[in-house]
Amino acid sequence: MNIKFTAVIVGLLLSSMGYGQDTARGIVYEDSNQNGKRDAREKGVAQVAVSNGVDVVLTDAAGKYQLPARDNNIFFVIKPQGYQFPVDEHNKPQFYYIHKPEGSPALKYAGSKPTGKLPKSVDFALQKNTEEQADFSALVFGDPQAYNMDEINYFEQGIIHDITATEKFSFGLSLGDLVGDDLVLHEPYIETVGKLGLPWFNVMGNHDMNFDVEEDILSDETYEKNFGPNNFSFNYGNAHFIILDDILYPNPRTGKGYLGGFRKDQLDFVENNLKFVPKDKLIVLAFHIPLLHKNSNVFRGEDRQRLFDLLAEYPHTLSLSAHTHLQRHNFYTKEDGWRQEKPHHEYNVGTTSGDWYSGLKNKQGVPTSTMRDGTPKGYAILNISGNTYTFDYKVAGKPNDYQLNITFPTEVLQKNVRRHTLYVNFFIGTPNDTVEYSLDGSEWTKMNHTVTEDPNYQFNVLKFDNASELMDGRRPSAATLSTHVWQTKLPTTLKAGQYTIQVRATDMFGRTHLQTKELKIVE
C-alpha cells in the first residue's frame, strides 16, 4: 500500500473521531447586489442552518455561525425558504466551501487541491427569491450515465433539447450516475445540463466514484471537487430536500464492489438537520440506490431502519431514487420497518439514458433506448403544492399525453381474436392503479394487472436477434419483469369491421390518461 495514501486515510479517520479539531466561523449574508462578495451594507441572515456535513447549527441574529472543523470537511449553507443560491456560469449552485488542508490523495481522477488553513471567516451568500412559491415543479433526471462524448451528445439531443418551457421549473435534480466511470466527463455533463438555465443539484452514483481508494470516505474526492458535498439539504416552498450518497465503497463486508447504505456520520447529519425542520414540511429524500432491497447483501438494512426511525414523526415524505434503469414505485410499510400507518413512497425514476443508449436510432440520430420494463427513455417532473406532491413522466420526443403503450395487432382474423392478448404498459403506473379499455365508446372494462415482460419491448429486442443485416445501434438488454403492465382478452363476439380501442388509466393521484389504437377485424 502507498505509505502517503495510508497516512491520509489514517489522518482522516482520526479527524472524524474528533482529533485535530478546529472551529470554522463565518456569516451567512444577503448578497443584495449579487456581486458574490459581502459589502459593508449587506446584512447577515438570521436563523439559517449551516453544516459541516455532520453538525448543523443556526446563524445568530447577525447571521454568524461557528462549527467544528476537521481535515476533510465541506461546509455548506442550507438554503432557507425565500432565498436562492448564487450559481456559476453553468448554473451550478454555489453554497459550499471545501476544507481539505492537505488536499485529496493522489488518485486516477484528481480531487481537491490543498486548501491550507481555514480562512478567518467562511462566508456564504444568499440572494432573495421573490418568485419562490409553495406550488412549484422541478425536473428529475435518472442516470444520464454517458460513457463517452457521443453519449453526452445523445443526452443533449435526446433530453436537454426536449425541454423547451424551462420557465415552468424552479430547479433540476439528477439522481446519480451522471457519467459512466470516466470522471473527466463530469465537466461536459455540467456544461450540458447547465444549458437548461436552471439551478441544478446532483446526487452521486456508483459510476461517479473514485474506485482506487480503500475507504468509503475517499470515494467521492473527485465528485466533491466537481459538485461539492454529496450529503446536503435545502428548502424550497414548504418542502425540505435531503440529498444523500447511499453507496458504500468498497463494500465494508467484502472489500470488493459496493453496498447500498449510509455511514454513521451521514445519518448523524440527517438527524441533526431534522432538528431544525418543522414536522409539517414535506421531506423529499434523494439518493441513487433504491431502499427496496431486502437482501442485506444489496442494501444494509440497519441503515435503512435508522433512516426510517429518523422520519417517524414526519407524516409527509417522499423518496426519489434511480440506478435500476427501470421505473417503479416502492411502498414501505411497518413490515419493512416504516413506523407510520401511511406507507412511505419511493419513486424509482426512469432514466434519461434509458437502457444505456441502446436500440435503433430515432429521427434525431439518438438511440431510442427503451428500458427493460418497457418504459421509454425520459425524465420525471415533480410537482409540489404545499406539503403534497404529484409527478409526471415525460417520454423524450413524445407529446406530454403519451403515458401508455398499447400492444395488439392492427389487423387480425375474426376467428383468431382470442389468440391475442391486449397489453397496456402504463409507464408511471402502480399495481393499485385502474386501467380500463373500451371499444368504440362502449362500457369501460377493467384490465388485469400483471407482472410480466413487456411484449413490445421483447419484439424490439428480437429485431436485433433475428436481423439479416447489420443493425444501426446496440442490441438492447434482455427484457425484465415490469410492474406496470395490464392485460385482457377481447370479446369473442366481435364482428368483422373497424374498431377504436380506447384505454383509460387512472393514476395514484386520481388523474386519468387516455390512449387509442385502431383495430381492423377481418373475416
Q: Which string of DSSP letters, residue by residue, matches 8-50?
A: HHHHHHHHHTTTT-EEEEEEEEE-TT-SSS--TTPPB-SS-EE
Burial (0-12, 13-18, 19+ Cβ within 10 Å), 295: exposed
363: pLDDT strictly greater than 90: no
Cross-strand bridge partners of residue 140: 173, 380
How far is 127 from 129, CA to CA, in rounded Å? 6
- Structure confidence at residue 346 (pLDDT): 98
Q: Which domains does the chain have, with CATH numbers?
A: 3-357+377-395 (3.60.21.10), 404-522 (2.60.40.10)
pLDDT tens profile 462-503: 999 999 999 989 999 999 999 999 999 999 889 999 999 999
Cell of 275: 432538528
Q: What is the mean pLDDT of residues 320-338?
A: 96
Angle CA(41)–CA(46)–CA(47) in degrees, nearest 5? 165
- Structure confidence at residue 1 (pLDDT): 41
17: pLDDT strictly greater than 60: no
pLDDT tens profile 399-447: 999 999 999 999 999 999 999 999 999 999 999 999 999 999 999 999 9
Position 494, amino acid? L
- Structure confidence at residue 356 (pLDDT): 97
**184 CB-near residues (< 8 Å, 6+ apart):** 109
Cross-strand bridge partners of residue 488: 422
For residue 367, is the peptide bond before it cis, meaning its omega torsion is within 30 degrees of 0?
no
**312 CB-near residues (< 8 Å, 6+ apart):** 339, 340
510: pLDDT strictly greater than 80: yes
For residue 135, which of 172, 169, 185, 184 has the smallest C-alpha distance?
169
56-58: strand order across its sheet:
56-58, 49-51, 73-77, 96-99
- Cβ(391)–Cβ(497) under 8 Å? no
- Structure confidence at residue 20 (pLDDT): 44
pLDDT tens profile 61-114: 999 999 999 888 999 999 999 999 999 999 999 999 999 999 999 999 999 999
pLDDT tens profile 196-245: 999 999 999 999 999 999 999 999 999 999 999 999 999 999 999 999 99
- Structure confidence at residue 296 (pLDDT): 66
- Cβ(247)–Cβ(206) under 8 Å? yes
SS3 for 77-145, per residue? Answer: ECCCCCEECCECCCCCECCEEEECCCCCCCCCCCCCCCCCCCCCCCCEEEEECCCCCCEEEEEEECCCC
Burial (0-12, 13-18, 19+ Cβ within 10 Å), 399: exposed
- Cβ(265)–Cβ(54) under 8 Å? yes
pLDDT tens profile 133-150: 999 999 999 999 999 999
506: pLDDT strictly greater than 80: yes
37: pLDDT strictly greater than 90: no
132: pLDDT strictly greater than 50: yes
Average pLDDT value for the chain? 94
Return the C-alpha torsion angle 87, 92, 96, 98, nearest 10: -130
- Cβ(203)–Cβ(319) under 8 Å? no
How far is 460 from 452, CA to CA, in rounded Å? 16
pLDDT tens profile 153-206: 999 999 999 999 999 999 999 999 999 999 999 999 999 999 999 999 999 999
